[in-house]
Structure 1
Amino acid sequence: MTDPDTLSALIDVIQRFVAERLRPIEGLVSETDEVPGSIIEEMKQLGLFGLSIPESYGGLGLSLEEEARVIVAFCHTAPAFRSTFGTNVGIGSQGLVMFGDEAQKARWLPSIASGETITAFALTEAEAGSDSASVQTRAVRDGDHYVLNGVKRYITNAGRANLFTVMARTDPNTKGGAGVSAFLVPADLPGLSVGKPEKKMGQQGAHIHDVVFEDVRVPVENRLGAEGEGFTVAMRVLDRGRVHISAVCVGVAERLIADCVAYASERKQFGQPIASFQLIQAMIADSKTEALAAKALVFDTARKRDAGANVTLEAAATKLFASEMVGRVADRAVQVFGGAGYVADYGIERLYRDVRIFRIYEGASQIQQLIIARETLKRGG
């Protein structure tokens, strides 16, 4: 999709959907820990599950910049709604889009784009979190199959997933990422099981699970890319995913700022709206400035990637700044709202909890710092 009018019309529809259908049920989703099925069906009809899937496979075929603009608009609501389709748009599908062969794409991408197939990205393990190259899940070649054994942790949408992109070690004698391969693993294969959803600090309605592989036989044709290429697949997927997550952070920050402005304009103390007090204005100004800077970083990095540039450094810097930014914005929002920000009625405390994960998943802030430093040193400044 390259027509600006079409993109603008899509964003307008999404903004109405967020305002009319999602924001009114944020509290319900938080209480029940579930996004209603009817809402998920509406998301499918809007094409949200196929934002990044090429048009030739039934998706909308958005560029990364276009996708980021859509996600910023969508995330003026609780981020758990985005998680419903986020893996289909990002880490759960993009390995297949970037590294899949034609048979794999034809088999899976149309149903991923429609939302019939839900995807999940299975990299993290108990001993392979930030040290993602230390994958211990094994994939042993046995004729025309690989046999997978191991346990993955904190896998988003695993309970709903029909298809996993799994990183497993095919060469136990090679340490680090070079011994890891990527596989497309259907959820209904014998030996694959999913644990109960974890109880989390925030983002109720979005679920993470352990995924257990016990002698799961995966056809050789389900390997994604060459043997030993899995870590490259994962890192390329994460580069892109970090820009997407940064757009989520910008959207939530814009929502929080708008809520602060509305509340500060109405709430009166000392006979006048608290928005007239300069210390309140300073918090709003700091939040707005940081959100604008993060938004500019998101779109600039997305444009560079769309043009074919290597954005490993820029994606890490964007994710570091945007995720830390939204945490500060949420903290200031609680302060602007005062006691009302600490209780559940206004939803500010919920968003405060929701955004905390952005500094951890798809690479913790400290990992982003290491990547930024490494890539800056490589480039000579």
Structure 2
Amino acid sequence: MSFAWTEEQEMLRRVVREFAARELTPEYLRELDATGRAPHDELLPKMAGLGFTSLPVPPEYGGAGGSAVDVTVLLEELGKTSLSIASLLNFAIGFGTHTLIKFGTEEQKRHYLPRVCSGDMFFAFSLTEPNAGSDAASIQTRAVADEDGFVIDGAKIFTTGAAECRCLLVATRTDPKLPKHKGISLFLVDPRTPGITYSKIEKLGMRGAGGLYEVHYDGVRVPRSALLGSLNGGWAAIKATLERVRLAQAAYCVGCAQQVVDDAVRYAQQRQQFGQPIGKFQAISHMLADLQVQTDAARLLLYRAAWLVDQGVPCVKEASMANLYATENLVRVTSDAMRVYGGYGFTLEFDIQRHFRDARLFVIGDGSSQIQRNLIARMMGL
């Protein structure tokens, strides 16, 4: 067992750090947070030029064929600078890309994957509904077959990037007579298709990752070629997609947690009270030591799960464990680090408040902490 990075992975880390220092300045990230605008068009082509968007794509479609560990290295390093931008990249290389690689037709792969590599393609996962959140298999959005393809009707909520994306990955119910996990199908839908309308929802954090939307589908027509995977077999694709998304989330949460700890340590070394740096007080030093231990533990769970993916070993439990621990750890880290800064941590001048807000999404979205515990317990035979 080796804990060393390959030479290529070390180089990837350096390239990500240089990109972040050049493009993701504190001023730029604060502007995105303040305005809530989506920077996909300005950042994804730059990331494509550095090989970020092509990393997981197979070589036959213009990609580098990188491993799950490689992608984890990329997302962890990017997460150190911005959870929003790491998440934005994952909309390109995570949500739709892995689903296409595993379940797409050859025609679909050749249409979408080269555009992922060029930075011109990113996806939004239109899954959650007003009455189907954690119980995702209870979706009611319908796709009814006709002579020309399918007609989609229904409503989705909390779809990040829906109005900005190049392609919607839409989960629908195609056979209501089948058990709820079996009558589901996925479709690749152009977000500009007639019949789709968007209502933006204001959100607490992750404001640089694109808008959050309620999406209505009213008689939306799609061709049969838009079906991703088999008819009524979409639940398997949804589970596979969420498994990789949870691993990606764990990666950038570990990266963010490490940066927050590092920044808090520097502040504790510099801030003077009672004639000495506050880091000399055991209450502060022990708290920061605990945060470092917990972040290292999260990293080990993360890379074990990524390694298992590369070995082709089923790892639903391990991916959920990595996600659960990394996301809850980030909430702890940002909460405790804010106390290190004292009153300054409660001001907008310090970025800890943005990390504090951003962190709250990941114990809720794409499978809450409670859902992760359910999955882990089920895989344990409980």
Query: Structure 2 length normalisation: TM-score?
Result: 0.94
Aligned partner of 1:187 in structure 2 is: 191
Separation in 1, partners of 2:325, 2:248: 13
Separation in 2, partners of 1:130, 1:23: 36
Aligned partner of 2:357 in structure 1 is: 353
1:237 aligns with 2:241: yes
Separation in 1, partners of 2:117, 2:159: 20
1:77 aligns with 2:53: no
Separation in 1, partners of 2:134, 2:65: 31
Instruction: Give the alignment partner of residue 205 of structure 2, picking from 165, 189, 202.
Output: 202
The one-letter code sitting in structure 2 at the alignment partner of 1:22 is: L
Instruction: Give the alignment partner of residue 101 of structure 2, picking from 97, 105, 123.
Output: 97
Instruction: Give the alignment partner of residue 13 of structure 1, picking from 4, 15, 18.
Output: 15
Mapped contact 2:95–2:125 kept (Cα < 8 A): yes
Aligned partner of 1:367 in structure 2 is: 371
1:34 aligns with 2:68: no
CA-to-partner distance for each residue in 1:288-335, whole Å, 9 max, x for gaps? 001000000000011011111111111111111111001000011001
Separation in 1, partners of 2:217, 2:52: 30
Aligned partner of 1:262 in structure 2 is: 266
Separation in 2, partners of 1:116, 1:280: 46
CA-to-partner distance for each residue in 1:264-311, whole Å, 9 max, x for gaps? 010000101111111111111111001000000000011011111111
Mapped contact 2:335–2:356 kept (Cα < 8 A): yes
> Structure 2 unaligned runs (5+)?
none
Separation in 2, partners of 1:320, 1:328: 12
Aligned partner of 1:162 in structure 2 is: 166
What CA RMSD, in Å, does the superposition of the two structures yield over aligned residues? 1.5
Deviation of 1:139 after TM superposition, in Å, equals 0.6
The one-letter code sitting in structure 2 at the alignment partner of 1:32 is: T
Aligned partner of 1:309 in structure 2 is: 313
Q: Give the 3-state SS of the residue equivalent to 2:189 in structure 1.
A: strand
The one-letter code sitting in structure 1 at the alignment partner of 2:349 is: D
Mapped contact 1:78–1:203 kept (Cα < 8 A): no
Mapped contact 2:96–2:123 kept (Cα < 8 A): yes
Q: Say which is worse superposed, 239-248 or 29-38, in terms of deviation.
A: 29-38
The one-letter code sitting in structure 1 at the alignment partner of 2:206 is: Q
The one-letter code sitting in structure 2 at the alignment partner of 1:58 is: G
The one-letter code sitting in structure 2 at the alignment partner of 1:157 is: G
Mapped contact 2:93–2:122 kept (Cα < 8 A): no
The one-letter code sitting in structure 2 at the alignment partner of 1:67 is: V
Q: Give the 3-state SS of the residue equivalent to 1:344 in structure 2.
A: coil
Q: Give the 3-state SS of the residue equivalent to 2:175 in structure 1.
A: coil
Q: Give the 3-state SS of the residue equivalent to 2:96 in structure 1.
A: coil
Q: What stretches of structure 1 move > 6 A for 4+ residues in a row?
A: none
Separation in 2, partners of 1:105, 1:231: 20
Aligned length: 375
Q: Give the 3-state SS of the residue equivalent to 2:133 in structure 1.
A: coil
Deviation of 1:40 after TM superposition, in Å, equals 4.2
Separation in 1, partners of 2:126, 2:361: 18
Mapped contact 1:166–1:184 kept (Cα < 8 A): yes
Instruction: Give the alignment partner of residue 272 of structure 1, picking from 252, 271, 276.
Output: 276
CA-to-partner distance for each residue in 1:193-224, whole Å, 9 max, x for gaps? 3323x211111122211222111111112211
Q: Say which is worse superposed, 266-275 or 73-82, in terms of deviation.
A: 73-82
Instruction: Give the alignment partner of residue 324 of structure 2, picking from 292, 297, 320.
Output: 320
Separation in 2, partners of 1:44, 1:145: 34
Aligned partner of 2:154 in structure 1 is: 150
Separation in 2, partners of 1:40, 1:95: 20
Query: Structure 1 length normalisation: TM-score?
Result: 0.95
CA-to-partner distance for each residue in 1:17-57, whole Å, 9 max, x for gaps? 22332132222221222255544442232233333222221
Give the percent of matched residue pairs that are identical in Structure 1 and Structure 2: 37
Aligned partner of 1:285 in structure 2 is: 289
CA-to-partner distance for each residue in 1:312-360, whole Å, 9 max, x for gaps? 1111111111110010000110011111111111111111011110101
Q: Give the 3-state SS of the residue equivalent to 2:170 in structure 1.
A: strand
Deviation of 1:151 after TM superposition, in Å, equals 1.1
> Structure 1 unaligned runs (5+)?
none
Deviation of 1:5 after TM superposition, in Å, equals 2.5
The one-letter code sitting in structure 1 at the alignment partner of 2:18 is: R
1:128-139 paired onto structure 2 within 5 Å? 128-139=132-143
Aligned partner of 1:172 in structure 2 is: 176
Separation in 2, partners of 1:165, 1:217: 14
Q: Give the 3-state SS of the residue equivalent to 1:279 in structure 2.
A: helix
Separation in 2, partners of 1:155, 1:35: 14
Q: Say which is worse superposed, 16-25 or 244-253, in terms of deviation.
A: 16-25
Q: Say which is worse superposed, 28-37 or 240-249, in terms of deviation.
A: 28-37
Mapped contact 1:18–1:76 kept (Cα < 8 A): no
1:335 aligns with 2:339: yes
Deviation of 1:127 after TM superposition, in Å, equals 0.9
The one-letter code sitting in structure 1 at the alignment partner of 2:86 is: R
Separation in 2, partners of 1:195, 1:59: 35
